[in-house]
Amino acid sequence: MITSVELGDFLSHSSTKLDFGEGVTVFVGDNGSGKSSIIDAITFALFGQHTRKSNKGLIRRGASQGFAKVNFTINGKFYQAERKIDTKGTLSATFIQKIDDEEITLASGERKQFGESMTKEVEARIGLDFDRLKIASIVQQGELNSIINAKPKEFKELLNAIIGIDKLDVASELMKTVQKNFRNSIQEQLGYDDTHFEILKNELEKIQTDVIDAKPLKQKLVEQKSDHEKEIRILEKKIEKDAPKIDKLEQLETRKSELIRYAKDAIRSIQEKIDENQRKIRDCEGCFEIASSKGDTQDKLTKTESELDNFTKKIHKNSLQLVKLKEQKSLASKLKLKDKKCPVCDSEVDHLNPLFQVKHLKEEEIALQKENELLEMKKNEFNYKRNDYSKKLQSALQAEATLRAHSIHNIKQIESIKQEISTKKNNIQKIPSLDSGNLIEVASIDSHAKMLYEEITKLEKETKGFVPDEFNRLKISIESKRGELTDLERRFGAIDEKINQGEYQIKKINSLLNELKIVKKYVSQLCEIQEKIFNRDGPIATSLRSWALNAISTKASEYLMALNTKIHRIALSEKTRDVSITCYSRNTVLDIESLSGGEQVSVALALRLGMAHLLGVSNLNFMILDEPTTHLDQERRKFLVDVFSQLSNITHINSKPPLQFIIITHDSEIFEDSNVERIYRFESSPEGTKVTVL
């Protein structure tokens, strides 16, 4: 039971403390006076949750922090839960147990990362969490009568929320996540999951069909390959046999060309020899006659050169004498007799020495000049002879050199060379034209030509009957067969690879299918669990609703019997996807719409209490009703007050802890003549909500 609630700078309350007792406590006041703030204070202090948008919005305007404190008892034990919040959003919380004058801290704060949570400690003591407490103990504005005015489908959703079946949606989604994660895990391991089972099965059938269809084709290709290989071996033997003939034909042509080339070279060589000998004859003819005059010419040249030397000496001697005469003549012209006396010694003489006579000297000079002229003429004559003898000697020497160069020593050699030239010319004339192809006569040139001709004859015999064109056609044929064989091998390799790959795929897919069968079975079980257990319309949920409906019906009927209404029993039942409410007066079925306003309120309240009982009601054993009179007429409002009083008394009389009711309403007049013990009036003021006891 809640014993007190204290608020400090919390929402519109600056400082408010409310005490609660057993039975009914009523909050009255105008809208916006701060009545409903008490609900947020209770849930915030206990669970740290509320109906406002943010925690900071809980602090009264102008304050730096706010707090909410709740004191309550459970089975005779006293507890206090308090939470504070400042403008920075900092939260602090303490949960204590009071034993006599001692306070024991049970929890502090919300350090969930350290496993510390005041909320969890409070939930453990109360027996409900925030969401379940809201359903079991807090009836929001307009929800009281909505339970009987709701459409069948809406009533079913409310029932689902009460017994937690709506949580099955979360569990169902989690189960889908489990399935998805499991499939993803299988997908990562195998590359497939159970959704691919039929696809793989169809693929397996297709591959098996392809492999079955491919095997006869493979066998056919094997046979075709074998036939082509046999044909190629036969052709290879023929080519192997005839291939050397191609080489021999090439050798034959080579030898023929070689023979013709050799013949041409031989003829050219003979012709060159003839030309050389003819040149030798031309060079050497007459050389013997010229060379034979060499000795006589040499003697004559020697004598002539000796005479020339004598003439040169005499001319030189005469030239020197002429110079001397000129000097004597110059001196003689200066020596003249004067009075028959010598101009030198002045002795008397008859006449001068002829050597000093100019006339005598002049005569001698003329005689020497004439002699030199005669000598020059003879010198020129002998010089001409010398040149002639030199030329003849040079010709003789050149003739000797020519004979020596050609190794000709006598006339007989020249005659022999002439005979050789005549013979070679006759041989050349006997050789037929090289273009005629008559190689047998060409072979008569020499031994080498004969050897080449014999090789040609041998090669002609060995290649006789061989047709190169047929051989080439044979080669083309074998290349074509080899190309066809290559294509067959390629096709064979492709189909063999296809079969091997297919068989590998068959083995792999079979293995995958075996594993996926297990996966599929497991996923099927997960789906079955999801469908039967976590589906809100599945057998488990339906069974739970059926049990819950019976439990609520039984408990609600008990409350209605205690309230002494004409309604003795109420039955909730599920039909298809709806929940319907049926009221009975003994064995008579009563239509809800035919009930009086007070009876409808009794039914609604009995159902809420039945639902609260189903939830186990919290250990606080209280119920808050926010504006329960909304949309009720005057009669129903008055009846509602009486019902609350009766219910409080009923729970007390049955030796159970009395059910505590906290009613929030703006209809204060309905409680004027009631036996409600505590009525608090809430009023707005500039200092905050003001609360007074009526």
Residues 30 and 113 in one domain: yes
- Give the Cα separation of 11 and 26 in Å (integer): 20
- Give the Cα separation of 246 and 467 in Å (integer): 9
Residues 59 and 156 in one domain: no
Q: Residue 501: which residues within 8 A CB-CB, separation 6 or more?
A: none
pLDDT score of 577: 66
Residue 181 lies in a domain: yes
Specify the CATH number for the domain of residue 158: 3.40.50.300
Q: Which residue has the higher pLDDT, 42 or 130?
A: 42
pLDDT score of 497: 92
- Give the Cα separation of 507 and 215 in Å (integer): 17
Residues 115 and 1 in one domain: yes
Give residue 280's Cα distance to chain centre: 90
Residue 94 lies in a domain: yes
Q: Which of 563, 594, 617 is the last residue of a domain?
A: 617
pLDDT score of 230: 94
**If we measure between CA atoms, which residue out of 172, 163, 105 comes closest to residue 550?**
163
- Give the Cα separation of 632 and 640 in Å (integer): 9
Instruction: Using alpha carbons, list the distances in angstroms from residue 553 to 138, 156, 548, 584.
Output: 20, 14, 8, 11
Residue 390 lies in a domain: no
Residues 595 and 541 in one domain: yes
Residue 141 lies in a domain: no
C-alpha triplet 290, 294, 295: angle, nearest 5°: 145
Q: Is 9 helix (H, G, I), strand (E, B) or coil?
A: strand
DSSP 366-429: HHHHHHHHHHHHHHHHHHHHHHHHHHHHHHHHHHHHHHHHTT--SHHHHHHHHHHHHHHHHHHH
- Give the Cα separation of 548 and 614 in Å (integer): 7
Strand partners, 82: 69, 94
For the chain, what is the mean pLDDT? 82
Residues 553 and 594 in one domain: yes
Q: Contact at 8 Å (CB) between 581 and 592?
A: yes
pLDDT tens column, 169-219: 777 788 888 888 888 898 888 888 888 889 999 999 999 999 999 999 999
Strands (E), 100-245: 102-108, 138-139
Residues 490 and 513 in one domain: yes
Number of domains in the chain: 3
Asked if pLDDT for residue 145 goes beyond 80, the answer is: no
pLDDT (mean) for 50-69? 90
Strand partners, 664: 27, 626
Q: What is the pTM of this model?
A: 0.48
Asked if pLDDT for residue 655 goes beyond 50, the answer is: no
Residues 597 and 694 in one domain: no
pLDDT score of 207: 92
Q: Which of 617, 637, 652 is the last residue of a domain?
A: 617
Question: How does residue 113 score in pLDDT terms, banded at 50, 70 and 90?
Answer: very low
Instruction: Compute the residue count for the chain.
Output: 694
Instruction: Using alpha carbons, list the distances in angstroms from residue 639 to 208, 642, 667, 677, 678.
Output: 82, 5, 13, 17, 18
Asked if pLDDT for residue 284 goes beyond 70, the answer is: yes
Domain membership of residue 158 as a residue range: 152-166+536-617
Residues 527 and 607 in one domain: no
Q: Contact at 8 Å (CB) between 620 and 137?
A: yes
Residues 549 and 612 in one domain: yes
Residues 156 and 99 in one domain: no
pLDDT (mean) for 219-236? 92
Which among 192-196, 425-429, 627-631 has the top mean pLDDT?
Answer: 192-196
pLDDT tens column, 435-465: 555 677 677 777 887 888 888 888 888 888 8
